[in-house]
Amino acid sequence: MSPSGQVDFFFFFGSAYAYLSVMRIEKLAVEAGVKVNWRPFSVRTLMSEQGNNLRNLSAKVAYMWRDVERRAAVDGVAFTRAPPWPTDMDQLANRVGIVAMLEGWCPAYTKESFRSWYLDGRQLGDPDDLARILTSVGHDPVRVLEAAQGDEVRRRYEMETDTARRAGAFGSPSFVVDGELFWGDDRLEEALAWASGSHPRQRQSAGSVDEPDPDLLQKIAAFGEAWATGDTAVLDRLLSPTYLHTDASGRLLRRDEWLAYAASRARRDTQITFQDVHVRMVSDTVALVTGVNVLNGPGARSPKDVSPLTIRFTQVWTRRDGRWLRESFQATATGDDAFR
């Protein structure tokens, strides 16, 4: 069965880890070419059914906030302090989320609500703060809050919770893709990979474990273009934290050193083409890439040297948290070519 290209994002206003996914999912989904369906649900109902009362587990709660702080730093998500918790015992913010979902403005409302809760320390579900948030995203607070208190929205909230229950969800955030459940912010990238059809397990099931991952091929090409133009923002996203680079002269550069060199290439109108590229999947998470780079145009070698440059390369790529990153690079000059 072909992947649907969609992910159902089940989340709860008041879930610690949902904050991270709320702030990350849109950008990652665009990069993966995946549509996101934002679906608020009552995780409290499901946790109560399972006898899971997190409020009674003080050590786990303390760990949770520290873990969110660490993960936020890794992912570049703003974090100041643990927000008020538990919060919104009436779950009004969630029911407003149902109104937003039905009317098509759930992402904007959700992000602003989580920002207010996490960064400003305001209680979720506070009517005055909800009025402020709703006004800021362009909707009439009186109308929306009245709808959120109505029977129709309450029934839809229960329906969304039941849908999550039947999908096997037991926590927030949860991601459901074509019946496949992924739980937790640390599974977001994996869920998006499943929705795009690039997850290693899908390729195994299709009997194509040795075929190159299309996502990897795209990342290899994007890396080459970014290097040619000195786009260090793209390069930084595609490099492993422990990246090592050996150029054609035998010089070994660590990650920061190589990025500084790449930045020096900015505004050089260099064109890059690939030849004789071979990708071997060593495992589901490791790939060996060999081939030839041919660079033409201004600055292929240096700002003043416009002669073409040809090198043979060997690259190692690894998949970390669902993302392909370049781990190492070895260049070999061909013929009389060498970096000058």
Asked if 246 and 192 sit in the same domain, the reply is no
Q: How many domains does the chain have?
A: 2
Q: Give the angle 164-126-95 at the CA atoms, nearest 5°.
A: 25
Residues 21 and 163 in one domain: yes
Asked whether residue 139 falls in the same domain as residue 286, the answer is no
The answer as to whether 67 is a domain residue is: yes
298 band by pLDDT with thresholds 50, 70 and 90: low
- For residues 114 and 18, what is the distance between their CA atoms, to the nearest angstrom? 9
Q: Which of 88-97, 219-228, 238-247 has the lowest mean pLDDT?
A: 219-228
What is the reported pLDDT for 282? 83
- Determine, yes or no, domain membership for 204: no
Which range (153-157, 256-260, 297-301) has the least confidence? 297-301
Q: What is the pLDDT of residue 93?
A: 98
Quick: pLDDT tens for 105-137. 999 999 999 999 999 999 999 999 999 999 999
CB 234 within 8 A of CB 222: yes
- Judgement on whether residues 164 and 300 belong to the same structural domain of the protein: no
> Are 149 and 232 found together in one domain?
no
Residues 164 and 271 in one domain: no
Q: Considering the domain boundaries, does residue 340 fall inside one?
A: no
Nearest to 53 by CA among 65, 43, 40, 62: 43
Taking residues 96-113, report their average pLDDT. 98
Return the top range by mean pLDDT from 154-158, 270-274, 312-316.
154-158
Residues 24 and 60 in one domain: yes
Q: Which domain holds residue 233?
A: 214-333
Q: Are both 257 and 187 inside the same structural domain? A: no
Q: What pTM does this model have?
A: 0.64
The structure tokens listed for 247 are 């150029």
Whether 339 maps to a domain, the answer reads no
Task: Kindly state whether residue 276 falls inside one of the protein's structural domains.
Answer: yes
Other CB atoms within 10 Å distance of the CB of residue 142:
9
Q: What are the tens digits of pLDDT across the range 19-56?
A: 999 999 999 999 999 999 999 999 999 999 988 887 77
Q: What is the CATH number of the domain that holds 131?
A: 3.40.30.10
**Within a domain: 206:** no
Instruction: Report phi then psi at 226, rounded to 5.
Output: -65, -40
- Are 240 and 182 members of one domain? no
Average pLDDT of the chain, as a whole number: 89
HEC string for the chain: CCCCCEEEEEECCCCCCHHHHHHHHHHHHHHHCCEEEEEECCHHHHHHHCCCCHHHCHHHHHHHHHHHHHHHHHHCCCCCCCCCCCCCCCCHHHHHHHHHHHHCCHHHHHHHHHHHHHHHCCCCCCHHHHHHHHHHCCCCHHHHHHHHCCHHHHHHHHHHHHHHHHCCCCCCCEEEECCEEEECHHHHHHHHHHHHCCCHHHHHHCCCCCCCCHHHHHHHHHHHHHHHHCCHHHHHHHEEEEEEEECCCCCEEEHHHHHHHHHCCCCCCCEEEEEEEEEEECCCCEEEEEEEEEEECCCCCECCECCCEEEEEEEEEEEECCEEEEEEEEEEECCCCCCC
219 with 173, same domain: the answer is no
Specify the CATH number for the domain of residue 221: 3.10.450.50
288 and 220 in one domain?
yes
In a domain, 142, yes or no: yes
Looking at 169, 197, 225, which one is the last position of a domain?
197
Is 96 found in the same domain as 61?
A: yes
Domain boundary among the residues 171, 197, 223 is at 197
The answer to whether position 1 is within a domain reads no
Find the mean pLDDT for residues 183-193. Answer: 96
Domain boundary among 197, 224, 259: 197
